[in-house]
């Protein structure tokens, strides 16, 4: 699959992690149900039941868990001073260690160096999406994690 075909997914993943609090609040107001967004303060650890590890030393900005289409979807946004290549390598090794088939795409879009990793089961079912990016001129690398459990 070409990197250009993954660009829309990458942009949605970035937008989804950035706007997750607004969406969760809006859905809660519209449905009367509580938002799935974690109220946990920012820190360096993910919730104990989060299916992917936090990059060592990264700041965890947000976490979210929700039921979507009959599946449980967990997502998180983190930041670190490590390079895109170093962080992507960490998650690529982790996904491979989980016996997932890893697809890696790298692209540059709007001044960002972006690596997209998708981990799929032997049957081809996507489980993990990891996007690692660093906007040009920024000192911190952004990490967006998503795990889908049917």
* Residue 80, Cβ density class (10 Å: 0-12 exposed, 13-18 middle, ≥19 buried): buried
- Closest to 75 measured CA to CA, from 111, 123, 21, 114: 21
Q: Do residues 38 and 51 make contact, with C-beta atoms less than 8 angstroms apart?
A: no
- Distance, in Å, from the CA atom of 128 to the CA atom of 79, rounded to the nearest integer, reads 18
Neighbours of 77 (CB within 10 A): 22
What pLDDT digit, counting tens, does each position of 20-79 carry? 333 333 333 333 333 344 444 467 789 999 999 999 999 999 999 999 999 999 999 999
- Distance, in Å, from the CA atom of 6 to the CA atom of 22, rounded to the nearest integer, reads 25
What pLDDT digit, counting tens, does each position of 85-97 carry? 999 999 999 999 9
**pLDDT level of residue 117 (50, 70, 90 thresholds):** very high
As a whole-number percent, the residues of the chain with pLDDT over 90 amount to 63
* pLDDT of amino acid 42: 63
For the entire predicted model, the pTM comes to 0.74
Torsion of CA 25, 30, 34, 37, to 10 degrees: -30
């Amino acid at each position: 699959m070409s990197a250009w075909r993954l660009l829309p997914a990458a942009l949605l993943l970035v937008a989804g992690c950035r706007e997750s609090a607004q969406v969760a609040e809006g859905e809660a107001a519209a449905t009367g149900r509580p938002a799935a967004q974690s109220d946990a303060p920012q820190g360096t650890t993910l919730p104990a039941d989060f299916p992917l590890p936090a990059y060592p030393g990264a700041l965890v900005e947000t976490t979210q868990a929700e039921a979507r289409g009959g599946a449980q979807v967990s997502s998180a946004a983190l930041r670190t001073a490590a390079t895109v290549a170093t962080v992507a390598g960490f998650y690529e090794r982790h996904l491979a260690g989980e016996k997932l088939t890893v697809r890696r795409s790298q692209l540059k879009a709007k001044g960002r160096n972006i690596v997209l990793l998708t981990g799929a089961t032997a049957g081809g079912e996507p489980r993990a999406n990891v996007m690692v990016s660093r906007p040009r001129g920024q000192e911190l690398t952004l990490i967006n994690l998503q795990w889908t459990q049917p």
